[in-house]
Amino acid sequence: MRQLSDKALTRLRNGAELPDLSGTRYRLLERVARGGMSVVYAAQDRDLQRRVALKVLETPSSQGELADRLMREARVLARLEHPGIVPVHDVGRLPDGRVFYTMKFVEGQRLDQYIGSLTPTSDRLRLFQRICDAVAFAHARGVLHRDLKPANVMVGSFGEVLVMDWGLAKILSGDVETETGTDPASPQGPGNGRSGTTGSVVTGHGRVMGTPGYMSPEQARGEVESLDARSDIFSLGELLRSLLSEKPSDRSLDAICAKASAQEREGRYATVQELLSDVSRYLDGLAVEARRENIFEKVGRFYRRYRFFILLTAGYLVMRVLLLVLIKP
């Protein structure tokens, strides 16, 4: 029997791990991310001559369950055509039977890595609004993400924001609920580490799926069947909190975060649009729904919003008074 050196072990391992793309129109470039059960590679689409991200199961699934889930994940993405959601291009099977799908290759950074470069709070809030736009769109299409967190949002080279990793998505279509439930791979892009660091948890049936710290209490309790949009809203609240964590405390923003991520879902915003509206009100200098202001705060906000006109008017009145006093008939 042949002896295998350490080098041979490594070559066999690498060679056997890499997906065999023969017979497809893709050429393998490099591995970019790994999840629990799937791996994401950069590949070249020979026909369209562009770079794509190719997600493939790491192992063949004996009962085909994981393959079905990856296929459903691709279908979820296919029904979510939105500028803030990574588009899927193709789906198929490798010669060894493993299911794969290709999607847009995003050059950029994960949000948790990018956020340090955004200084003004208003910039962070506007970025958050774009995330909410994408999630609201998904909800309108009957899809819950269920794993919203900074590591699953990419910011592209031109500032585009994309919500990634729909591996735990749930489709709500009437009475039919469909879960994807593949372990999510971490997002693409340079500088990303292994997905083991993103912390998403997927266990067996009936199960806890999501990321500790970002998943809603009902999700953490494994109440998979009763999850609705408010579960994603909880995650958005925690995501917003993480975006603002380095900033000085602001009562209105704190109130928005608190309402979005209330422990009881009845206490949260009912829809992502409501959350978005409150963030927009804050940016416009208006009172937010999440918090009732006292009279002093109302006056202070009114002053901040109309400061220029107030000062202009006050200046005019002072000038008039001075003129009346100094120029006596």
Partner 1 sequence: MLQPTFRGGDGGFPATRSSVLEGVRSGDTAERRRALETVCQEYWKPVYKYVRWRWSRGAEDAQDITQGFFAEMLERELLNRFDAGKGRLRTYLRLCVDSFLLNEDKAARRQKRGGAVQHLALDFAAAEDELAGGCIDAAAIASPDSLDQFFEKEWVRSLFTLAVEDLRTLCIAQGRERTFQLFEAYDLDGDENISYEQLGQQYGVAVTAVTNGLAWARREFRKMALERLQRICGSDEEFQRETKAVFGGDAQ
Residue closer to partner 1 by CB (options 7, 328) is 7
The set of catalytic residues is 147
Q: How far is the CB of 213 from partner 1 (least distance, A)?
A: 23
Q: How far is the CB of 90 from partner 1 (least distance, A)?
A: 20
CB 207 within 8 A of CB 227: no
Measured over the CA atoms of residue 282, residue 286, residue 287 and residue 293, the dihedral's sign is positive
Residue closer to partner 1 by CB (options 9, 311) is 9
In the beta sheet, which residues pair with residue 172?
Answer: 177
Q: Strand locations in the chain, DSSP E?
A: 26-34, 38-45, 50-57, 88-93, 99-104, 108-110, 143-144, 153-156, 161-163, 170-173, 176-179, 201-202, 209-210
- The 3-state DSSP class for residue 10 equals helix
Which residues of this chain interact with partner 1, rule CB under 8 A?
1-9, 11-13, 15-17, 20, 22, 34, 36-37, 39, 58-63, 66, 95-96, 194, 196, 204
Residue closer to partner 1 by CB (options 36, 87) is 36
81 C-beta neighbours (distance < 10 Å), count: 11
Compute φ and ψ for 75, nearest 5 degrees. Answer: -70, -35
Q: How far is the CB of 9 from partner 1 (least distance, A)?
A: 6
Q: How far is the CB of 192 from partner 1 (least distance, A)?
A: 13
d(CA 86, CA 153): 10
Residue closer to partner 1 by CB (options 56, 253) is 56
SS3 string of 279-295? HHHHHCCCCCCCCCCCH
Residue closer to partner 1 by CB (options 197, 249) is 197
Q: Which of 55, 63, 39, 72 is nearest to 204 (CA)?
A: 63
Q: How far is the CB of 17 from partner 1 (least distance, A)?
A: 4
Pairing of strands 99-104, 143-144: unpaired
